[in-house]
Amino acid sequence: MGGTFDPIHFGHLRLAEEMAVALSLSRVLFIPAGQPPHREPPRIAARHRLEMVRCAIAGNPFFAVDEREVQRAQPSYTVDTLTSLRSELGPEQTLWLLLGADAFLGLPSWHHWQRLFELANIAVVTRPGARLLQPDAMQEPLKSEVLKRQVADPSAVGSAGSVWFQQMTPLEISATAIRTILSQQGSVRYLLPDAVLNYIYEHQLYIQT
């Protein structure tokens, strides 16, 4: 699961948890982006975003943080990340790329996006505010890929190439909203784990606009 995690919140954690259950995952890797190519640079340094992920997942043996994207000097392309994971795990290992609907619907703008299907399966959750995950509502060229690859039973997939859509408990939480509230000295308690909130206060993050 990739993201800027600027900061990590309960939307991310619940996505990971619900996917771990639905797909019987043995491990979820949180992979914070170093320099994401599709968007503005993250508001705060990678080391803080990484550390907040660590705080958020502490104590969950199924969740781990992976530093490979923040260690890269170049932009973090998901295709490179999956290529490197695939070379470590071998061709047989079933891999799932976990995405929210907004991210998935923007997939055709990603670097070598069609190669992602050769490297992993893709699991997508609904997200409040994002368009629905119905192939008929999608634009080409994404629509054709979905019609070709969508599966009804995610337990029967191969190591890569399938697409699975999953309903998720709707949580209308975004890192953007959290940053805005913090910059106005508002409360973000119960939108993210207390451990993350404590880290934010300790390091005075997101306070200055």
**Can you give the binding site for ligand ATP, defined by CB under 6 A?**
3-6, 11-12, 15, 99-100, 102-103, 125, 127, 168, 171, 173-176
Q: CB nearer to ligand ATP: give 116 or 168.
A: 168
**Least distance between ligand ATP and beta carbon 4 (Å):** 4
Q: CB nearer to ligand ATP: give 15 or 82.
A: 15
Q: Tally the C-alpha atoms within 13 A of residue 22's C-alpha that lie toward its C-beta.
A: 20
Nearest CA-CA partner of 95 in 173, 35, 165, 27: 27
DSSP 88-107: HH-SSS--EEEEEHHHHHTG
The answer to whether 188 and 175 have CB atoms below 8 angstroms apart is: no
Whose tokens are 């784990």? That residue is: 193
Q: Compute the distance between CA of residue 30 and CA of residue 8 in angstroms, rounded to an integer.
A: 10
Q: CB nearer to ligand ATP: give 103 or 157.
A: 103
Q: Compute the distance between CA of residue 17 and CA of residue 141 in angstroms, rounded to an integer.
A: 30
**Least distance between ligand ATP and beta carbon 19 (Å):** 10
Backbone angles phi, psi at 150, to 5 degrees: -65, 135
**Least distance between ligand ATP and beta carbon 134 (Å):** 17
**Cα 44 to Cα 34, 78, 128, 175, distances in angstroms:** 11, 21, 25, 12
**Least distance between ligand ATP and beta carbon 16 (Å):** 9
Q: CB nearer to ligand ATP: give 66 or 87.
A: 66
Nearest residue to ligand ATP, by Cβ distance, number only? 100
Q: CB nearer to ligand ATP: give 127 or 145.
A: 127
**Least distance between ligand ATP and beta carbon 87 (Å):** 23
Q: CB nearer to ligand ATP: give 29 or 91.
A: 29
**Least distance between ligand ATP and beta carbon 147 (Å):** 22
